[in-house]
Amino acid sequence: MGVLTIVQSENGYLFCGVQGGDIQIWDLETYQMIRSIKGHSDDVLSVTIKGTGFVSASADGKINLWSEGFELEESIKQDNGVLLSLTHSQDYIVTGGTNHTIKFWNTQHLTSPVDNARKSSDLNDVNSGDMMLSVLDRWVSMRTVSGMPKYSEECRKGARFLKNVFQSLGAQSRMIPGASGRNPLVYGKFFANQIQSGKDAKDPSFKTFEKPKTVLIYGHYDVIPAENAKGLWESDPFKLSGRNGYLYGRGTSDNKGPILACIFAVHELLKQGDLDVDVLFLIEGEEENGSIGFQEALDEQKAGLIWRIQPLFEGVDVILLSNSYWLGEDVPCLTYGLRGVVHASITVYNGLSDLHSGVEGGAMSEPLVDLIHVLGKLIDTNKRVLVPGFYNDIRPITPAEDTLYDPIVKWLQRSTDKPLTSSSRSQHSCITPSSFSDSGSETSEYSNENGLKQQLMVRWRYPTLSVHKIDVSINNPTIIPRNAKAVISMRVVPDQKISDICNSFQSYTKKVFQDSKTENMISVQIESAADYWLGNPENKYFKAAEDAIEKEWQIKPLYIREGGSIPAVRLLERFCNAPAIHFPMASDQAHLPNERIRLLNLHAGRRIIKNFLKTVGTQKEKRVE
């Protein structure tokens, strides 16, 4: 199809009018067609940008006005002659046609142009700390919720915003296309001062010039939903709000706040002339959605060049992320391990319709009942997973590993006078009483060193299987649903192999079902999977982070693991052939209503990153390939 007209918007979209009536919108950053709209029933001859939206006109004389979100807002029918050209002023659309007339259309009711007063280029005028909060304020207001199509434009907006932040703070930046239908990633690179200016190079001779180290900082700009339908948020989740020393808002902690602390740390070093390392940022938009397409997007960039000169991910020495949490409010932590995860589903169905339980009850095998019997054979009442071989490959505990738990246990025992109760327990607080009903037994368990260690290990280094929910095809207390679907996850640990676990899970589940001899059918799906991650807390990067933390907080961090999973960590380690370290900035309410981050911790985090980067910059020995 012929492209009859092309116009480019200020923010990097290309609008194409196509023969037959389509309008295609391309993102010039990622070279992806992000939308194809059946906009007209005849050739689209003219497109013009208007305010935050655009206007299109077709050969049949129709003029369509479109919103920022590419929704049709209004349609005007030009009644004589073919419409050939189109432009606009503040208040009018102007059309020219075959009938020798120029028409002015009043469109004052169109969405008024956005407030362009607060461009990111203003950023350099205020001090860095205030600037960070001002940027966080605007970023939190963008509903960058992944996994929900209605927010995909907001995600792209949040990604573009981040790219502009990078650029205005002195980084080179570009967007990297996500996998098909997925949110883009944002790449940013700050070059070390010595490279930029050469001022710190001791030896002016190019030959002995030492290549600076490269730190890759990983994060994600997407957030989980916060519809606040139940009114559990004390303030609008998408409006940054400060109360009692905390910043509240979706993404403040997971993960926009920590990302900005890192970016501004680098920016400050750069301004001071103290940036001795190259810092790459890779900020993705699908982390809360299982990092779908992350591996594909990386592979796509493997041979990619930045500005056609330098490989995007060349020579990374260490990967840093800040996407987990302290054990409590009063002790900083470094995370050196994460469990992996397999998300799976089991569906039992009868290939028929939902049926009335009065009429059919007793005459058929119920899919939900069959599913219950299968699930009951996956895990027993002692929390033991019954999938054959499930526990075979767990790495034995070494004395060295065991001793890492001692300071944590000591800290917990010091905290027995203020044990974490159910009200302070959050989805991300790691240490909780195992006995929920009897608060008396909590204290005794906390005073038992071995019991406590066991509690930690069960969460951090042993695998498990959870059943999250069971969905049925119809929600009615008199109907036998035609299908029932269980959503399951398995957390995996060193040295379990994802492929072994998946195979054993699938074949065992099917066998159990077949043994029940029901007339229904089963489908067992692996939805996604991510490897565990285990860092080496003895390496120099962890030690550099430890020193930086101790300098800031006057206390040694605890080395902890976490039971949750972040798929990108292991993928990046493999992709860059470099180790990762994980530096949580605070405890929080991530994934919950009233997500927040303490302002004190955010600023401390920024300073720690600065010190960490300075230390890494002085570690002059060559990295080990």
Residue 127 burial (CB count, 10 A): 8
- CB closer to a second copy, 578 vs 580: 580
* Edge-to-edge strand ranges of the sheet holding 483-492: 464-472, 483-492, 340-349, 521-530
- CB closer to a second copy, 1 vs 386: 386
Residue 302 binds a second copy, judged by CB under 8 A? no
Residue labelled with tokens 């189109």: 86
- CB closer to a second copy, 488 vs 581: 488
Interface pick for a second copy out of 271, 543, 591, 603 (rule CB under 8 A): 591
CB of 286 to a second copy, least distance (A): 14
CB of 88 to a second copy, least distance (A): 38
Residue 364 binds a second copy, judged by CB under 8 A? yes
By CB under 8 A, how many residues form the interface with a second copy? 78
Interface pick for a second copy out of 373, 453, 510, 607 (rule CB under 8 A): 373
Interaction residues for a second copy, span 449-468 (CB under 8 A): 455, 458-459, 462-468
- CB closer to a second copy, 352 vs 555: 352
CB of 416 to a second copy, least distance (A): 18
Residue labelled with tokens 């295609």: 24
- CB closer to a second copy, 167 vs 432: 432
Interface pick for a second copy out of 177, 557, 563, 605 (rule CB under 8 A): 563
CB of 582 to a second copy, least distance (A): 14
Residues 338, 319: Cα–Cα separation, whole Å: 15
Of the listed pieces 149-157, 159-167, 172-180, 422-430, which binds a second copy according to CB under 8 A?
A: 422-430
Residues 452, 538: Cα–Cα separation, whole Å: 24
CB 151 within 8 A of CB 143: yes
- CB closer to a second copy, 6 vs 397: 397
Chain length of the chain: 625
Site string for a second copy, 316-355 (x = CB under 8 A): -----------------------x-x-x------xxxxxx
Interaction residues for a second copy, span 479-508 (CB under 8 A): 479-481, 487, 489, 491
For every residue of 132-196, DSSP letters joined together read: HHHHHHHHHTS--BTT-GGGHHHHHHHHHHHHHHHHHTT-EEEEE--STTSPPEEEEEEPPHHHH
CB 179 within 8 A of CB 292: yes
CB 360 within 8 A of CB 482: no
Residues 23, 57: Cα–Cα separation, whole Å: 10
Residue 287 binds a second copy, judged by CB under 8 A? no
CB of 456 to a second copy, least distance (A): 9
Residue 428 binds a second copy, judged by CB under 8 A? yes
CB of 122 to a second copy, least distance (A): 39
Residue labelled with tokens 């339980």: 357
CB of 222 to a second copy, least distance (A): 14
Site string for a second copy, 63-102 (x = CB under 8 A): ----------------------------------------
Site string for a second copy, 374-413 (x = CB under 8 A): -xx--xxx-x------------------------------
Of the listed pieces 83-91, 93-101, 402-410, 476-484, which binds a second copy according to CB under 8 A?
A: 476-484
Of the listed pieces 184-192, 367-375, 442-450, 568-576, which binds a second copy according to CB under 8 A?
A: 367-375
- CB closer to a second copy, 118 vs 468: 468
- CB closer to a second copy, 103 vs 373: 373
For residue 38, list its beta bridge partners: 22
Residue 445 binds a second copy, judged by CB under 8 A? no
Interface pick for a second copy out of 171, 430, 548, 616 (rule CB under 8 A): 430
CB 122 within 8 A of CB 105: no
Residues 549, 556: Cα–Cα separation, whole Å: 7
Residues 421, 412: Cα–Cα separation, whole Å: 13
Interface pick for a second copy out of 211, 356, 410, 414 (rule CB under 8 A): 356
Interface pick for a second copy out of 87, 128, 432, 619 (rule CB under 8 A): 432
CA of residue 242 relative to chain centroid, distance = 24
> What token pair was written down for 477?
């207390």
**DSSP three-state, residue 522:** strand
Residues 210, 199: Cα–Cα separation, whole Å: 13
CB of 478 to a second copy, least distance (A): 7
Residue 517 binds a second copy, judged by CB under 8 A? yes
> What token pair was written down for 70?
């590419």
Amino acid at 146: S
Amino acid at 440: G
- CB closer to a second copy, 381 vs 398: 381
CA of residue 239 relative to chain centroid, distance = 19
Q: At what angle do helices 128-140 and 256-272 cross, to 10 degrees?
A: 150
Interface pick for a second copy out of 315, 564, 567, 579 (rule CB under 8 A): 564
For residue 334, list its beta bridge partners: 559
CA of residue 476 relative to chain centroid, distance = 36
